[in-house]
Amino acid sequence: MATVVVISVEGQDGLWVADLDAGTVLPLPAPKAGGLKVVTDLRATGATVTKGVNVAVTVQSAEAAFSGHYDG
Residue 55 within any structural domain of the chain: yes
If pLDDT is split at 50, 70 and 90, which confidence band does 72 have? low
Tens of pLDDT, residues 28-69: 999 999 999 999 999 999 999 999 999 988 898 999 989 988
Phi, psi of 70 (to 5 degrees): -145, 160
Residue 66: predicted pLDDT: 92
Dist CA 51 CA 6 (whole Å): 10
**Whole-prediction pTM:** 0.81
Residue 72 within any structural domain of the chain: no
Dist CA 68 CA 46 (whole Å): 28
How many domains, the chain? Answer: 1
Residue 30 within any structural domain of the chain: yes
Residue 49 within any structural domain of the chain: yes
Residue 60 within any structural domain of the chain: yes
Residue 21: predicted pLDDT: 93
Structural domain for 54, as ranges? 4-67
Residue 15 within any structural domain of the chain: yes
Helix, strand, coil distribution of the chain in percent, nearest 5: 20, 20, 60
